[in-house]
Copies of this chain bind each other. A is one copy, B any other.
């Protein structure tokens, strides 16, 4: 029967429509102002309808969070192309910071907000190929593998790839969150974006042998 297939397709389309309206609102107005009623208004349906496609608001935002990781992973392909591992490490850091600066709402949702993590807790299908973190994990693996290559070629003063990856990730994530959550204001930092790049350069330089 083609009817069940059409219904399946229509259900998927509706889910997509809700998601797109939610992303649009979220990127334009932020998390707090993206209410279920606002999304419902945007797609011209009742608020209750949204609950036929998403368990709750957390699950809806987890789906958006997923899109963000796809976007980040796509941006990372630029870095993956670089053959020199130390140079690649630099590019990974720059691409990561660029992503955070250009997509602050996405970054916040992916790495800071509590909402999507709450949805993740009520799940069990993680660890599979079609994992919730698929693109996030692959981006992280690119970082670990790059540092492992640097270690193998005696390019860095770091003995362990995992710990090196956490160090690098923490630096860029730390700066990204201090910027996005406006904590650079505390130290009255002028031109934070330029300084973030300088700090990243310092990190790579001191890591080098």
A→B interface (CB under 8 Å)? 111-114, 117, 120, 133, 136-137, 140, 157-158, 160, 162-164, 166-167, 169-175, 177-178, 181-183, 185-187, 189, 195-196, 198-199, 202-203, 205-207
Report whether B186 and A178 are in contact in the complex, using a CB–CB cutoff of 8 Å: no
Q: A114-B181, A163-B198, A174-B174 are in contact. List 15 more A-B contacts (CB 8 A).
A: A111-B177, A111-B178, A111-B183, A113-B181, A120-B185, A133-B186, A158-B206, A163-B199, A166-B175, A166-B199, A170-B171, A170-B175, A172-B174, A173-B174, A206-B207
Q: List 25 A-B contacts (CB under 8 A).
A: A111-B178, A111-B183, A112-B177, A117-B181, A133-B186, A137-B186, A140-B186, A157-B205, A157-B206, A158-B206, A160-B198, A163-B202, A164-B202, A166-B189, A166-B195, A166-B196, A167-B203, A169-B174, A169-B178, A170-B170, A170-B199, A173-B177, A173-B178, A174-B175, A177-B177
Copies held by the complex? 2
How far does the alpha carbon of A175 sit from the alpha carbon of B169 in the complex, in Å? Answer: 9
Residues of B within 8 Å of A158, CB to CB, are 202, 206
A157 to B207, CA, bound (A): 10
Q: How far is the CB of A163 from chain B (nearest CB, A)?
A: 5
Residues of chain B with a CB closer than 8 A to A185's CB: 117, 120
| Centre residue among A162, A169, A199 by max chain B CB count within 10 A | A199
Q: Are B112 and A199 in contact (CB under 8 A)?
A: no
Min C-beta distance of A189 to chain B, whole Å: 8
- Give Cα distance in the complex from A26 to B198, angstroms: 38
Interfacial chain B residues near A166, Cβ < 8 Å: 175, 189, 195-196, 199
Query: Which chain B residues lie closer than 8 Å to A202 at the CB level?
Result: 158, 163-164, 167
Known: A167-B199, A170-B199. A181 touches B137 (CB 8 A): no
A169 neighbours in B (Cβ, 8 Å)? 174, 178
Min Cβ gap A167→B in Å is 5
